[in-house]
Homo-oligomer: A and B are copies of this chain.
Amino acid sequence: MAREPSPAHEERLRDADRSQSTILAAARDEFAEFGLGGARMDRIAERAGLNKRLIYYYFDDKEKLFQSVLEQAYRDIREQEMQLRLTELEPATAVRRLVEFTWDYYLAHPEFLTLLNSANLHRARHLAESKRARELNSPVIETLATVLERGRREGTFRGGVDPVQLYVSIAGLSYFYLSNSHTLSAIFGRDLLAAKARSERLSHMTEVILGYLLHD
């Protein structure tokens, strides 16, 4: 007997959705703070203000929960990248914009860095098992290719630049500095996250990337 879903049913569904989101957010914070090995299901439940059993109900086990958190993290950054509209800008401005965006996003979402680290520690097993791994590919790569090509045609950019390599380089310049800010700060004996240090880093990175790309 097919029935119209009752309002009560709908409400329960919304509750269910909300619970899952709450759990995902709590798990993301826990995994980000302690890594996959150090995260505690108990604490995730506590952070979420929900019963531990419910986590298992929705996500089966810790590994699958981590996988879901990881996918969500990728979806989040991809969604932001989608807003960039780089093709509407001058090539140099577009690249500068991408450098800034990457830097700002990593700064605002430090959990993204530690989640990536955890994923890689486990040899990206969690992505390999994800059917949607390829969907997590950045939309920026395509855009960047267009930007590079236009820059080259305009004569401002050098040719022969692989957009994937450039994308990875732009990410790496921010990533290493921020992901390792604690050890670097300890070793250099100064706070790499102070406002001045941050702005100097951003200038440097922009200069490196544009200095490399731009013809003289």
Contact = CB atoms under 8 A, between A and B. Distances in A.
Interface stretch (A80-88, A90-98, A143-151, A205-213): A205-213
A187 B165 CA distance: 14
A116 interface: yes
Interface in A17-58: 34-38
A140 interface: no
A120 B172 contact: no
Given A128-B186, A172-B172, A186-B124, A204 B119 contact: no
A127 B183 contact: yes
A174 B175 CA distance: 11
A34 to B, nearest CB: 7
A101 interface: no
Interface string A124-163: 1001100001101110000000000000000000100010
- Kindly report how many copies of this chain are found in the complex they form together: 4
Interface residues of A, number: 58
Contacts of A208: 169, 208-209, 212
A121 interface: yes
A133 B171 contact: no
Contacts of A137: 187-189
A120 B181 contact: yes
5 contacts: A117-B120, A120-B179, A128-B186, A137-B189, A165-B201
Given A168-B176, A208-B209, 18 more contacts: A34-B37, A35-B36, A35-B38, A38-B121, A117-B179, A119-B182, A120-B179, A120-B183, A124-B186, A127-B183, A128-B186, A165-B201, A168-B177, A172-B174, A172-B177, A208-B208, A209-B212, A211-B213
Interface of A: 34-38, 114, 116-121, 123-124, 127-128, 133-134, 136-138, 158, 162, 164-166, 168-169, 171-177, 179-189, 200-201, 204-205, 207-209, 211-213, 215-216
